[in-house]
Every structure is written in C-alpha cells, then in structure tokens.
Amino acid sequence: MKERHIRLKAIKRIIRNNRISSQEALLGYLQEEGFNVTQATLSRDLKLLKVGKVSQGESGYYYTLPGEEERKESERGYIQDFQRGYVSIEFSGNVGVVRTLSGHADSVALALDNMNMEEILGTIAGDDTVMLVLREGVTGEEFLTKLREKIPDLEE
C-alpha cells in the first residue's frame, strides 16, 4: 500500500477536481489510482483532513476541503496543545523522544500527527513520553528546523 501522506495528497486532489458525494465514490477514485484502503481508513483520512460536506441543493451533498484560514486556525490549536505539554526532545537516528508533562503525551502526539509535517512517519504516546519516528533520511536537526518554522520559540 502506498504511504499515507501520498494517499492524503491524492484524496485532496480528487476532492478538489471532482464532486464526490460519498465515501464509496471516493474509494473508487482511489482504487483507480492504485490505493487499496478500507472504509474505516478512508473515514480516518477524511477526519484528519477536516473534510466537510456542502449541500448542492436537492441532489444531495458533496465533499469539500477546509479553506486555508480554517486550516491555519486548526493548526494554531494543535501548536498550543503541543506547547502546553512539551518539555524536551532528543533524537537517535530517525527516532525521537519527546518528553511531556505527565498526562500530556496523548495531546502532544495528536498535535504532531495533525500539524501535517511530512517528515513524521508516526507517533506513539505514553503518559509523559512520545516516541516520534521520522521518515527515512530525515535527521532530527532537519525535523527541528521544520518544527521551529511552525513554533519559532521552541526550546530543546
């Protein structure tokens, strides 16, 4: 199966270029492009992308992507969640350990997952620690540079 970030880009492109009225129709487009995903995975992708439905009158609804301002507002909320719980970060190769305040690891991991940073392969949250896995070839310093673009006052 193709990588998630590539699939998310395909979903956005398909929704921008077509009037998609159902998940089944979207699944069809994705399958034509070689993506083999389940309805549950597609539902999670649509939620992550904050896809909404807009009425087209009597003929039903179609999917739409959030506007740039909505996306920025959502990202600001995730950045605040990250900052509320963040303590420090260290890397060993492409694996990072984010230390958080006790009980904040879930919200910090969710924030990282939703900041749409292509450098991140995934996160795993504990109670006060998040394991952060970067894509192959991305260094911790490269990731921190990108993270500082989003959070300029980030302390290590």
Is 115 found in the same domain as 55? no
Residue with tokens 């970060």: 89
For every residue of 133-149, DSSP letters joined together read EEPTT--HHHHHHHHHH
- The CATH number of the domain holding residue 12 is 1.10.10.10
96-129: buried (b, 16+ CB within 10 Å) or exposed (e) per residue?
bebbbeeebbbbbbbbbbbbebebbbebebeebb
Is 76 found in the same domain as 55? no
- Mean pLDDT, the chain, as a whole number? 89
pLDDT digits (tens, 9 = 90+) for 112-134: 988 878 899 999 999 999 999 99
Q: What confidence score (pLDDT) does residue 58 get?
A: 72
Residue with tokens 């009425």: 55
List Cβ neighbours of 102 (8 Å cut-off, separation of 6 or more).
127, 128
Asked if the structure places residue 40 within a domain, the reply is yes
Which tokens sit at 69?
């301002």
Given a cut of 50, whether residue 89 has pLDDT beyond it is yes
Asked if the structure places residue 155 within a domain, the reply is no
CA distance 55 to 9: 24
Q: Look at residues 40, 64, 88 and tell me which one is the last residue of a structural domain.
A: 64
Provide the whole-model pTM.
0.61
pLDDT digits (tens, 9 = 90+) for 6-43: 898 999 999 989 989 999 999 999 999 999 999 999 99
Q: Find the domain containing 59 and state its range.
A: 4-64
